[in-house]
Chain A
Amino acid sequence: MQLNIFILICLLAASVWTVMTRSLLRSAIGLALVSAILTILMFNLNSPIAGVFELSVCAGLISVLFISTISLMEALTMKEVIDRMKERLRRFWLLPFIVISAGIMLSLFSLKFNLSLPLPEEQMDVRFVLWHARQLDVFAQVVILLAGVFGVVVLFAERKKEG
């Protein structure tokens, strides 16, 4: 449990750093770090397959997407960087205080509810659940993937010359 709390603190610190850092590239790297730390938690909580997905898709693919998009933008001059850094600091200095105070308030708040949990399932494999119990989810995933592909095709389609 102590290890999990340490990992959770690292996760929160990485999240705050992702939001507060001035460089977009560092933000994208911070997001990949958040995904990697979340993967460690997933392994600790007996969810290795979801952890592998999180690591490969979120920490890998999505970070590559963000970084390639950032690389397409033109770089700022040093004066613009300094101006934006000051502006960001003015807007975001409050975030660590909000997070720390909300954390203290929530940890002091005593739980009064009692969740009634369903009976634990027999040792079912995630593949069995996904392909037999949640077939509709798989169908929805295919539909969403196709919708995404069509969306990207439409977005990047070559425009015909007018006239």
Chain B
Amino acid sequence: MDSASLYLFWTFGVFAVLIFIAGCYCILLSYNLIRVLIGVELLIKAVTLLLIVAGHLSGHPALAQALVITLIVIEAVFITVAVGVVQGIHRINGSLNTRLLKELKG
């Protein structure tokens, strides 16, 4: 790997890690279920960014795009089902506060 590619990979990698940190922070410190889902979305964005850069640098952009398309499909299905679960929780509890979800205990 030449130095220009290494620099490009390192630059994108640093930003992907920083977005990942922001997503983890959101998941860990949010009490609202929708914000937790938004944090998960940010984690997926960081992974998508890394996949695209890896495909670009390795000379396999088509393979990387195929993987990213699969990831987007999984992401869309996951978010759809998770939003359904969130709406169900809101219908039952009247709140999306994770501290009030006590039904799952025990």
Contact = CB atoms under 8 A, between A and B. Distances in A.
A2 to B, nearest CB: 11
A1 to B, nearest CB: 7
Nearest to B63: A129
Given A19-B25, A66-B83, A106 B17 contact: yes
A149 B103 CA distance: 26
B1 A102 contact: no
Contacts of A130: 66, 69
B64 to A, nearest CB: 7
B62 interface: yes
B65 to A, nearest CB: 4
Contacts of A46: 56, 61
Interface in B28-78: 29, 32, 34-35, 37-39, 41-42, 45, 48-49, 52-53, 55-70, 72-78
Contacts of B67: 134, 137
A73 B96 CA distance: 9
Nearest to A62: B79
A5 B14 CA distance: 11
Interface of B: 1, 6, 8-12, 14-15, 17-19, 21-23, 25-26, 29, 32, 34-35, 37-39, 41-42, 45, 48-49, 52-53, 55-70, 72-81, 83-88, 90, 96
Interface in A98-117: 98-99, 102-103, 106-107, 111, 114-117
A45 B19 contact: no
A45 B25 contact: no
Contacts of B58: 117-118, 120
Contacts of B23: 15, 19
A81 interface: no
Contacts of A103: 14-15, 18
A95 interface: yes
B68 A53 contact: yes
Contacts of A118: 58-60
